[in-house]
Structure 1
């Protein structure tokens, strides 16, 4: 998505296999969603190049960029270490953002002595370009013009941006979605319905392509558990049963699409 306006995109990962997979997925998505197929494409005539590199090339990549987004797993210490590294390496005019799906940027930066604390924000994307909305959220220290730039640029690149007006764990959509996930897991744990029955009813009522169980499988059940544990830290009154249900599935190797089985079974993809 960020390469739709012709600008180069740098992908940095310490795992060479992940870089190889990312490159293949980008090429596949470019064929699926060609230029001109999204609202923001009216003036977009060429794809931007994408470059992949190890962390050794991070400083060089940042020197050629206006925006850096961390997309590491939903583990707070890991995200905090990456953001702290980006603060040191990224030139002062580079916006630094987290793609966390539940942690606020304020929470991730808490306790840090940053060189440029006013350039940090959160940008949560879903599965672009299949799902184009993004949520943009600042910290108390974020300059307003940073948020405006992100809103403008996200729209220009084919996203549908939504501004989160106050710091909110889970942003807007994921706070509401968390309640649906939690009740789905509770229904399963109580034996009220099967995953297939839940998803069938959900899709029939709301006319959506996926039900909550299939959606959790797509995200990854380990990621879903990490997010739920974070919510539970802030809200101890939340029921434990949904997290226990996920823990049992994960212990059995059922992580969702990426492991070939979660609530449903999936064919191996290469």
Structure 2
């Protein structure tokens, strides 16, 4: 590592924060996991410990795990002062992420990289309107479901220093990720843009009455040999969340068809949110997680 500081600090101890803490603890370097909820930190600790005991996901690093320090938000400043990288993993609210990033910018020195794990908002959108002290050290660092899905997407803003991208590519790979550099500003990064097109056409086909959810998922799995089809995947994510994402795409990409969003709006209005509500495209028992 080319920095004198060794700690990675993760802000937000939800599912993604816990899984990222597991990944970043791989090489034995310190990891700090910060959250405002002591209960959430306790649950995250149990998840991290379980993943470390399994160990098989990251193979050769088994036995090298560092302890993950879990702390409440009032210890954020002391954690940041020891960190070369701080990653926000807070809920997908643009106003919340802006507030968090602004606070991190005030607390962290110029050598500390500040990253967002957001799936919906680019670092450029999050920084919009903020007066940051060091605008060249911000980056999007988006992961999916580590460690099972090891892909991580690295995307800078127009101001991000090139050496930050190089360092993150090296360090994420060393910690068991498979890094992909998003070379230009892209809402949805790489994979989610492709996935968005699949979701949109699925919803369009349903709205037009071309096929049922069962038939769409059936042919999708038959051709691509995937365990889940797009309707099942959307049910697991939550149709209200899918709708929020689609609305955001429509805001930044004028001209997207309205029919897919209208179809989703009707389902959400009926309380059909997917797995979490018991029904969506399928009944809860029909969706295998």
**Which bin holds the TM-score, normalised by the shorter protein?**
0.7 to 0.9
Q: Which residue in 2 is equivalent to 1:101?
A: 119
- State TM-score, norm by structure 1: 0.88
Deviation for aligned residue 1:31: 4.3
Q: 1:164 to 1:189 in 2, by over 3 A?
A: same
Could you report, residue by residue, the CA deviation over 1:73-126 in whole angstroms, capped at 9, with x for unpaired residues? 322222111111111122322211111213221121122211111110001101
CA distance in 1, matches of 2:88, 2:273: 23
> In terms of mean alpha carbon deviation, does 163-172 or 252-261 score higher?
252-261
Deviation for aligned residue 1:147: 0.6
CA contact (8 A) 1:74 1:226 kept: no
Could you report, residue by residue, the CA deviation over 1:185-220 in whole angstroms, capped at 9, with x for unpaired residues? 222223322222222211110111221122223333
Could you report, residue by residue, the CA deviation over 1:226-264 in whole angstroms, capped at 9, with x for unpaired residues? 221111012231122222332333334443344444333
CA distance in 1, matches of 2:129, 2:97: 14
Q: 1:177 to 1:52 in 2, by over 3 A?
A: same
CA contact (8 A) 2:218 2:229 kept: yes
Can you give the 5+ residue segments of structure 1 that lack an aligned partner in the other structure?
Answer: none
2:92 to 74, 77, 85: 74
Runs of 4+ in 1 over 6 A off after TM superposition: none
Q: Which residue in 2 is equivalent to 1:19?
A: 41
Aligned residues: 264
Please state if 1:218 is matched with 2:272.
no
CA contact (8 A) 1:4 1:157 kept: yes
Please state if 1:10 is matched with 2:32.
yes
2:78 to 50, 60, 74: 60
- State TM-score, norm by structure 2: 0.82
RMSD over aligned Cα atoms: 2.3
Q: What SS does the corresponding residue of 1:184 show, helix, strand or coil?
A: helix
CA contact (8 A) 2:26 2:61 kept: no
| Paired residues for 1:152-167 under 5 Å | 152-167=170-185
CA distance in 1, matches of 2:167, 2:111: 12
Can you give the 5+ residue segments of structure 2 that lack an aligned partner in the other structure?
Answer: 1-22
| Paired residues for 1:1-270 under 5 Å | 1-32=23-54, 34-35=55-56, 37-38=57-58, 41-43=59-61, 45-266=63-284
CA distance in 2, matches of 1:218, 1:51: 31
